[in-house]
Structure 1
Amino acid sequence: MSRPIPRALLAVCALLVTAWGALALWFQLSRPGGYAAIALWSLAGLAATIAIARGRGKWPGARALVTGAVALAVLLGWWFSLAPSHDRMWADDVSRMLVSRVDGDRLVLQNVRNFDWRTETDYTPRWETRDYDLAGIVSADLILSYWMGPHIAHTLVTFGFKDGKQLVFSLEIRKERSETFSAVGGFFRQFEQVIIASDERDLIRTRSNARGEQVYLYRLRATPGQLRAVLLAYLERAEALRRQPEFYNTLTSNCTTILYELAHRIAPDLPLDYRLLASGHFAEYAYDQNALTPGVPYAVLQQRGHINARARQADIDGSDFSRAIRVGVPGIR
């Protein structure tokens, strides 16, 4: 009576491995040539699963297990041979990588993105060289942009300087010209990653105005020294990616996990939390860590931090975008 239980578990494992392999081949192999490989792998996996489920004796489906193990070894060998690259036909908005130079308090950035977005596909590309005074960092804001329901959001951080400049950082997928974002594909090494430094009218406005995502802004609590440390950590991470490409991973290496990684350098006791994965709730996590404006209920911070109406109005009346989106946000004068 005990044999069917481990055999059933083994069959489920074989089915899961078959599904994983089929998805890995789907997202990696060019089509239509990849269809044959996907079909062969799927048929072999299903056959092994059925043989294991129906097997008899102490070692049910032993022949199927050996065949499946060999096929899995070949697949894993191919999987681990995949390497990220900088040498691809990149989409315009991720075609360049950030280059930074720090000289005392003077920061010079090359390839700061400042696209003029009319729609998601209609834009004027601009890459600029800009300089910033690191001694003049006075603020940082957390941005959450919701694009697929209330539980998933893209997270950005924007730094403010005494002279009125704003600098936004975002970890993005580095998609090729023929690619579109896929959260599932992000589990299967479909994309590299890149850190974009940008003008707020680009990274924030393209989400609120051009794409119609729901965007929220929250003032972060931090000392100038902490702000400088996080900004320099972004630059360090961007330089590491420029020197050595890495794959994007939807779960372990994304726009929210990098923010936690950088903040953890400042606050080593920062706890892990499910909201690091459910990124749409990351602002609530920050609130619970006393990282947002104090003395204001979270619901009020969220309601007054919703910038879409102000962002659209800034387009209509030509007002300063960065100032307009902050009107009424708690903690910001």
Structure 2
Amino acid sequence: MALWFQFPGSAVARLVAILVWCIPWVWALRASFARRRRWHSLAVFAAGFVLLLGWWATIQPRQDRQWADDVAQPLHARIEGDRLLLDNVRDFHWRTQDDYDIRWERREYDLSQVRSVDLILSYWMGPAIAHTLVSFGFADGRQLVFSLEIRKERGESFSALGGFFRRFEAVLVAADERDIVQVRTSVRGEDVYLYRLHGLDQDEMRELLRYYVGQAQALERAPAFYNTLTSNCTTIVYELMHRIVPTLPLDYRLLLSGYLAEYAADVGGLTPGVAYARLQERGRITLRAREAGDTPDFSRRIREGVPGIPEGEVP
């Protein structure tokens, strides 16, 4: 699999490389079961495997590829007192997957004015797999969404298997909520749910924001690979929540990200006193987001009826 996703050249070249690797090492493993020269065969296999690992270690993440437009600009983030300063906040206007207006903005937020944190799950491959986003709400009604994503090259598409084999760099996207939700509901045809996170005080909300700023600064200093299992959109959410609530238990639903909201409900992280089925039903914002379109009150409209969110909270 490493050779398939990383060996340079065409599919034919990759298949040849895999055959060149497999044939002698299958022979070595087969010969190792014989009484004679068993250790010689194992030594041949071990030497080949060391060579493969040496080549694997040379594969390093980069920042200088021909990136797709929606991940072309890295997020620059810093905090000065209570001021959160962000360069390259994405605010695209999407018509289709290939037809959009590119807009990257410089924005400033007051950390003392953060009022809410919402969990957004976007389902793109069945009920067990979802992309995880976190949206911060401020007293002036603005929403700022963070999303850890693969940094696609032009013409490249996501592969869950490739994510295990250093196929993609990671990028932290900060975006306007209308942009990042609408591209998923109205352009990619994904099914999106929104849940209000419960039990966080303002200091904890600010700490979450600072964590995202730290992640952005780390990726700016040194690129990193996106990993389907250990470094993805869901594990970063668990890691930042675990810093605030160290007793959070590990759970299989952290890997099957489509069930992350159910996990959050079980550990008391969603609106109390409301059955999970009801939270899920009222949290489905797909149709509301499509109907809201590019209206200025997009964030308010998609939250209508979501449990735990006071009516009219967002101007």
| TM norm structure 2 | 0.94
Structure 1 distance, partners of 2:245, 2:37, is 52
Richer in helix (by share): 1
Q: Which runs of 5+ in 2 are unaligned?
A: 311-315
CA deviation profile, 1:67-111 (whole Å, cap 9, x unmatched): 211110100001112111111111111111111232211211100
Which residue of 1 is the match for residue 110 of structure 2? Answer: 133
Of 177-186 and 161-170, the range deviating more from structure 2? 177-186
Match for 1:73 among 50, 75, 90? 50
1:241, 1:188 → 2: CA distance? Answer: 19
Q: Structure 1 CA distance, aligned partners of 2:210 and 2:93?
A: 27
CA distance in 1, matches of 2:21, 2:133: 40
Q: Is 2:218 aligned against 1:240? A: yes
Matched, 1:179 2:156: yes
1:128-147, Cα deviation, whole Å (9 max, x unpaired): 00111111000010000111
Count of residue pairs brought into register by the alignment: 307
1:50 aligns with one of 30, 46, 54: 30
> Which one of the candidate residues 278, 281, 285 is aligned to 1:307?
285
Which of 73, 76, 90 lines up with 1:99 in the alignment? 76
Q: Distance in 1 between matches of 2:85 and 2:262?
A: 34
Greater RCO between the two (CA within 8 Å, min separation 6)?
A: 2
- Listed as ranges, the gaps of 5+ residues in structure 1 are 1-22
Query: TM-score w.r.t. structure 1 length?
Result: 0.89
Counterpart of 2:313 in structure 1 is none
C-alpha distance in 2 between matches for 1:261 and 1:176: 27
Quote the residue 2:241 is aligned against. Answer: 263
Shift of 1:61: 4.0
Matched, 1:111 2:91: no
Task: From the CA coordinates, give the structure whose radius of gyration is larger.
Answer: 1
| Aligned match of 2:260 | 282
Distance in 1, matches of 2:130 and 2:279, equals 17
Q: 1:66 offset after TM fit, Å?
A: 1.9
- Residue 203 of structure 2 is aligned to residue 228 of structure 1: no
Q: Report the 3-state secondary structure (helix = DSSP H, G, I; strand = E; otherwise coil) of the residue aligned with 1:156.
A: strand
Aligned-pair distance for 1:319? 6.0
- Aligned partner of residue 250 in structure 1, secondary structure: coil
Secondary structure at the aligned position of 1:183 is classed as coil
In 1, distance between residues paired with 2:9 and 2:149? 25
Structure 1 residue 60 displacement after superposition: 7.0
Within 2, Cα distance between the matches of 1:209 and 1:158?
Answer: 19
What residue is the counterpart of 1:157 in the other structure? 134
Secondary structure at the aligned position of 1:31 is classed as coil
Does residue 41 (structure 1) correspond to residue 21 (structure 2)? The answer is: yes
The question of 1:120 aligning with 2:97 is answered yes
**Secondary structure class of the residue paired with 1:176:** coil
Deviations 1:177-226 (A, max 9, x none): 13210000000000110110000111111111111101000001111111
Residues 222-267 of structure 1, C-alpha deviations (whole Å, 9 max, x = no match): 1111111001100101110110111111000000001111111111
Aligned residue type for 1:198: A
Using the TM superposition, give the Cα deviation of residue 117 of structure 1 relative to its aligned residue in structure 2, in angstroms. 1.3
More displaced 10-residue stretch of structure 1: 176-185 or 139-148: 176-185
3-state DSSP of counterpart to 1:231: helix
Instruction: Work out the CA distance in 1 between the residues paired with 2:20 and 2:34.
Output: 26
Distance 1:313 1:324 in 2: 9
